[in-house]
Amino acid sequence: MLILNATLMTVPLVKQAHNKLSGYIKDGDVVVDATMGNGFDTLFLAQVVGKHGKVYAFDVQAKAIDSTKARINEAGVSERVRLIHASHADLADHLQSDNIESIRCAMFNLGYLPGTDKANKTKPQSTIQALNATLGLLGDSGVISVLAYTGHQGGKEEAEKVKDWAASLSRSQFYVAVEIPASLNTSPPEWIFIERR
């Protein structure tokens, strides 16, 4: 059973996710941005892991890599980030090749890269594969944040698959909560938060 919260929100879900994750991530942690997009989550993670931490950021689109590279270079945190031009479904292979055995946090921002072809988007099968791989790397008290955008074609279905996956996790090992903004929008974004107990 999932803990569902439907509340009127004055703070965007992205900002809420950043605020919450800031309480978990420490200087020196290894974290993952599974879907870098325009690099906003990558930059946030690079700032909170500090100069001793490392961010592994993934995307299949070269435009996402370029945008994120420019953002982290401008902020002066590029040495903390490894940008990987690959699917989030392959994240475990890349981390293991760097001898990374444990991560503190993984962020997923599902959907498509704004300003690009909406057909090039995350898909349930590869997202669930990536989430399973993340679980295998998640350390004690580690967290997963999934922002699922439901307004595009296939978005609602992907969100439901992720929630079904999260609901199947052992409650003795994981805390799971879902935030859905109370909105006139018939397809609001949804935030799935998972913490290893």
pLDDT tens, position by position, 20-60: 999 999 999 999 999 999 999 999 999 999 999 999 999 99
Using 50, 70 and 90 to split pLDDT, how confident is the model at 157?
very high
Do residues 34 and 133 make contact, with C-beta atoms less than 8 angstroms apart? no
The reported pTM is: 0.91
In the predicted model, what is the mean pLDDT of the chain?
91
Angle at 139 between CA 137 and CA 145, to 5 degrees: 80
Residue-range domains of the chain with CATH: 3-196 (3.40.50.150)
Contact indicator for 159, 187 with CB cutoff of 8 Å: no
Reduced 3-state DSSP string for 18-61: HHHHHCCCCCCCEEEECCCCCCHHHHHHHHHHCCCCEEEEEECC
